[in-house]
Every structure is written in C-alpha cells, then in structure tokens.
Amino acid sequence: MIDYQTLKSGTDIRGCAMGENAVLTKETALCIGGAFITWLSERTGKNPEQLTVAIGRDSRLTGQELLAACAEGMARCGALVWDYGMCTTPAMYMSLLTEGFKADASIMVTASHHPSDRNGFKFFLPQGGVSSTDVTMILQVAQTTAPVACPHRPIEKREFLPVYVGQLEERMRSGLETDVACPLLGLHVVVDAGNGAGGFYEAMLRELGAWTEGSQFLDPDGRFPNHIPNPENPEAMASLSAAVKKAGADIGVIFDADCDRAAIVDRNGREINRNRLIALISAILLDKKPGGTIVTDSVTSSGLAQFIAEWGGVHYRYKRGYRNVIDEAIRLNEAGIDCPLAIETSGHAALRENHFLDDGMYLVTVLLVEAMRLKQEGKELSSLLDGLREPVESAEVRLRITAKDFRDAGRLAIERVMDHAAFAEGWHIAPDNREGVRINFDLQEGLDNGWALLRLSVHDPVLPLNAESDVAGGVRIMLQQLLKVLEEADGLDLTPLREYLQ
C-alpha cells in the first residue's frame, strides 16, 4: 500500500498516474473520493446523504478514469455527485457560487502544468480552496479507511462550462461599458491553449467579435504533444510569440492545462509574464483606484516594487505558493488594508473583484478589456509597462537538499546565510523579508543594486536560490559570496551552483 501522504503537494494532491510507477490509480482515487466525503461530512455537520459535490477534469489522458473512480468513491458514501466533465479549475470553484449549481464542495482532477503522466486533485469549498492541513486530514482518512463496498447513488452528468463562459462574456461587456453583440470587433488575439482544457476561450473571443486567426493547440490532448502547457516555460512562450508575429496579431494569450494560470505576449512577440505580468495588471488596477496594496510572492524584482510605487500603489512581498499570497491578501483586506490583487510570478492571479479566485482566464479577460480600450485610443496594452525597470541579469539555481530531514536542513542553511548577512559588508537583510532570507547587496560601489533570495521550496526537498542584479557581473559576485557561506552548511548538493559559476 502506498503512503498517501506522499501524494500531498501543498494544498493539492499530485502523483504519477501512468506507467509502472503510477501511484495515483483508480483504487487510490476511489479511496480519496470516499475520504473526502468523510472529511466533508465532519466539516459541515451534514450526513453524507445530504452532501452534493461537483467534479471536473482537464484534458489529461488519465483524467476521465480518475474522475470516474473519485466520483464513485463519493457516491458509494451516499453523496450526490455532479460530473461536469471537461472543465477548468476556476470554473469548478465558480460553480459553488452560481445559482443552480451550489454544491457543498467541488473537486478538479488536474496536475496543472506538470507532465502528461501526472495527475491530481484540487478541492474547493464555497469559502475557497482547502488548506494544507485539510489535505493532510483527507489523506489520513484515505489511508486508514477502506472504500465502502456497496451500490452507489447515480452520478449525474451536468454542464457548467457554458455558464462560466457567460460570466466571462459579461465581464468583457461590463468592462467595456457596452452591450453590443461584438465588443471586441477589431482586436486580433492569438490563443494558445497548450492542448489543455482552455481551447473554448478562442471560440468565446470569436463570438465577441475578435479575430483569432493564428490561434493554436486548442483541441484537448492530454499528451501535450506541442509544448508543456505552462506560461513560465520558455518553449511554450517562444511558440506563442512566433504565432503572434506570424499572424500579425495585437496580442497573444496562453493558459496552463487547467486554466488557473496565464500569460500574454504583445504584438512584437515580447513575453509579458512573471514581473511584467504583475506590473501590467497592477497598473490597470491602480490607474482606476490608486493606493492599493499588491501582494506578490517573494521572488519579485526591485524594479517591480518601484513601478508599483510610481503607479500609486504599495508592493507587499509574501511567501511563495498561490494559496499563501491569496490568504495574505484576504487577511490584509479584513484588517482594513485596500488590497485588490494577489499574484505570483508563476501566473497565478486572484482579483478581489472575482472573489480572490485564482483564475487565469479572468485575468486575461481583464487584460483584453484594457487592450481593446487602448486600441480604440490608438495605443497598445504594453505601453502601460513603460517605466518598468528590469534587471540587467537574473538567475535561478535550485539546490537539492540531501539530508533526510530536508526541512530542518534547509532551515539551518537559511539561518546560516542570515547570520552571515548580519555582519557582512555590503549585505543587508531586506526590510520586507517574509520568506527564507532575502539579501540586498551593494555591488560595484553602488547601493542596493542587487538581491538574492534563498528559500525552501513549497513542495520539494530543494532550496531555490534567485538572484537579480542591476549591474553586469553582479549575479556572479553575489553567488560566489553565497557559495562560500553555503559550503559550511550540511546536507546540500551545491553542484548546480558551482556549475553555474563555472
């Protein structure tokens, strides 16, 4: 029997679902479904027979089989299960807030941007995604409780995706302050769905009047034969850039497999992801209402902080992990701080106006509204990025932790760097250090013109080391100094850092 806790990945469940090494099997999914109902019954105080759960999947080859098994596990416990079929992660959550579809919970079968042999589960309640602790509890139940061996309630097939599309269309029209049939007439958009679940977005744009010639990889194909569906992947972004330039489009958009992440490219094929994407949506929101606080993950650049300040906002760095930035933004709002956006450099973005739902398609819809508005004024969306100072150099090196207790070893390595920074000349612990240790460096007789962040990975026994410099050669200087400090730490494989410096 597998150790179910090894399937835990932050607030999700993930694992290999194909081949000899598969751990996420029909039997596993059956147990997880039953365990979820047991946990949900205790959480809500409802008997299993009183519960309704919606479930959907992305385009992965194992999605249909795992959905069916998980649904059966829930139905065996007596719950009513609605099967939404091919869907997106944001739609599965939005269904819980939509009249006529308000289940007690929903599940999305997906492994996001991970390779085609992976799959997993994401869980939602009407209040939002479940916590890491909740996932641990669900997996504990799955480990210790055998599936109910009895006939189950019929599983009902329903459609919610068309309703979700209607919500996006309404946001497009309200954002452009029009009720015309084709509000995007004159805008040329290339859509790259990466053969994930999001190909329908291109049809929606066409229905709204956009020209979508050049769009690619719209058909669902769980093998992902063209490129990894990941807005951070260089090959995926290069493919979209080439398609936009070939078609002469105004803009290109790309989604991951389950559509909770996105990125765009401008008409010149310039990639607008990571810091640029954060800057772009921040400028749009702050232009409408200055003074807001933008919550991001910890690896964002110094230039982004300056850009947000120039647009009248406050940059608030927090821990990596999309649930972390979302939960922190919600907490800030509850504390009376105006915070309209939580966003990670990975492309996870959640807007307050959209229930702080992590929704790549909603983000793109807001961006296209602004692109259309600016085109009508003879301007381009990317013009909003004028003034964004970008680093001269940047690098990420991932250091594998070899110690058995990888979290403790990672913590000790971070503490060693932090202790060194307290007295090292030209090193300053960043005032907004909220994860790992972020050091500002004085490089080549300058002040605070480089930074490095060492943190523990959210999911893996890895210490990611990110560095950015505003001067040529600065990254090498910082990493050389950090290597000397980390050589004294135990349980780290420093080979990738040494190889980078060579």
> Which residues does residue 399 pair with via DSSP β-bridges, in sequence order?
463
Q: Do the two domains 4-159 and 164-385 of this chain adopt the same fold?
A: yes
> Which residues does residue 372 pair with via DSSP β-bridges, in sequence order?
none
CA distance 209 to 74: 42
The architecture of the domain spanning 4-159 is 3-Layer(aba) Sandwich (3.40)
User: What is the predicted pLDDT for the residue at 147?
Assistant: 81
Residue range 161-181, pLDDT digits in tens: 999 999 999 999 999 999 999
Give the chain's end-to-end CA distance (angstroms, integer): 45
* pTM as predicted: 0.94
User: Does the pLDDT at position 353 exceed 80?
Assistant: yes
Please compute the mean of the pLDDT values over residues 463-475 and round it to a whole number. Answer: 97
Residue range 110-145, pLDDT digits in tens: 999 889 999 999 999 999 999 999 999 999 999 998
Structure tokens that stand for 89 in this block: 């992660």
Residue range 9-47, pLDDT digits in tens: 889 999 999 999 999 999 999 999 999 999 999 999 999
With CA atoms as reference, report the closest residue to 117 among 195, 64, 60. 60
Instruction: Classify domain 164-385 at the CATH topology level.
Output: Alpha-D-Glucose-1,6-Bisphosphate; Chain A, domain 3 (3.40.120)
**Contact (CB, 8 A) for 340 and 292:** yes
Class of domain 393-501: alpha beta
Tell me if residue 416 falls in helix, strand or coil: helix
Structure tokens that stand for 426 in this block: 């030209």
**Contact (CB, 8 A) for 321 and 10:** yes
Residue range 249-300, pLDDT digits in tens: 999 999 999 999 999 999 999 999 999 999 999 999 999 999 999 999 999 9
CA dihedral (335, 338, 339, 340) positive or negative = positive
CA distance 342 to 296: 6
Q: Other C-beta atoms within 10 Å of 104: how many?
A: 20
Distances (CA, A) of 168 to 69, 201, 241, 485: 31, 9, 25, 50
DSSP string, 253-277: EEE-TTSSBEEEEETT--EE-HHHH
**Contact (CB, 8 A) for 350 and 465:** no
Share of the chain above pLDDT 90, in %: 94
User: How many helices and strands (H and E) does the chain possess?
Assistant: 14, 23
User: What is the predicted pLDDT for the residue at 418?
Assistant: 96
Residue range 191-226, pLDDT digits in tens: 999 999 999 999 999 999 999 999 999 999 999 999
User: What is the predicted pLDDT for the residue at 153?
Assistant: 86
Tell me if residue 432 falls in helix, strand or coil: coil
> Would you call 299 exposed, middle or buried from its count of C-beta atoms within 10 A (0-12, 13-18, 19+)?
buried
Residue spans per domain, the chain: 4-159, 164-385, 393-501
Angle value at C-alpha 325, between 202 and 315, nearest 5 degrees? 95
Tell me if residue 450 falls in helix, strand or coil: strand
With CA atoms as reference, report the closest residue to 283 among 356, 362, 341. 341
With CA atoms as reference, report the closest residue to 7 among 22, 20, 88. 22
Residue range 302-350, pLDDT digits in tens: 999 999 999 999 999 999 888 899 999 999 999 999 999 999 999 999 9
**Contact (CB, 8 A) for 319 and 298:** yes
CA distance 383 to 101: 40
User: What is the predicted pLDDT for the residue at 459?
Assistant: 74
**Contact (CB, 8 A) for 110 and 222:** no
> Left (φ > 0), alpha (ψ -120 to 50) or beta: where does 331 sit?
alpha
Residue type, 43: R
CA distance 274 to 348: 10
- Confidence tier at 148 by pLDDT (50, 70, 90): confident
Distances (CA, A) of 154 to 29, 68, 85, 187, 241: 18, 12, 15, 45, 46
Give the sheet arrangement for strand 427-429, strand by strand: 427-429, 437-441, 450-454, 462-469, 393-401, 492-493
User: What is the predicted pLDDT for the residue at 146?
Assistant: 82
User: What is the predicted pLDDT for the residue at 10?
Assistant: 85
